[in-house]
Amino acid sequence: MRAEGNQLADLPRSLAKLTSLRELHVSGNRFAALPRVILEIPSLEVIDLRRNRFVELPEELVELPNLRKLDLRWNKLDREPRALRTLRERGCVVMTS
């Protein structure tokens, strides 16, 4: 699913019904916090969060069992969250700037 450059600040709860969703591309929006609905889609393999307003991320990201690529480039993370180290250790490609 692509919703890039739409100035979104949140995602609809109905997204959780897409139980077979493998890729979510939401770059160029206004997310300051990870929309919780993303954590309810265990089939996600790729999440593109480039060019948003993230400064931190929840530890629950590591609970997405199929995640293999997480793109966070062009965000202003205060520090690297522990979740990113854990994801890298299990083989997930984590891209940060």
Amino acid at site 95: M
Domain 13-95 has CATH 3.30.450.20: no
pLDDT tens digits for 7-62? 999 999 999 999 999 999 999 999 999 999 999 999 999 999 999 999 889 999 99
pLDDT tens digits for 72-96? 999 998 888 899 999 999 999 999 9
- What pLDDT does residue 97 have? 76
**Cα separation of 83 and 62, whole Å?**
6
- What pLDDT does residue 22 have? 98
Domain boundaries, the chain: 13-95
**Cα separation of 89 and 17, whole Å?**
29
- What pLDDT does residue 74 have? 95
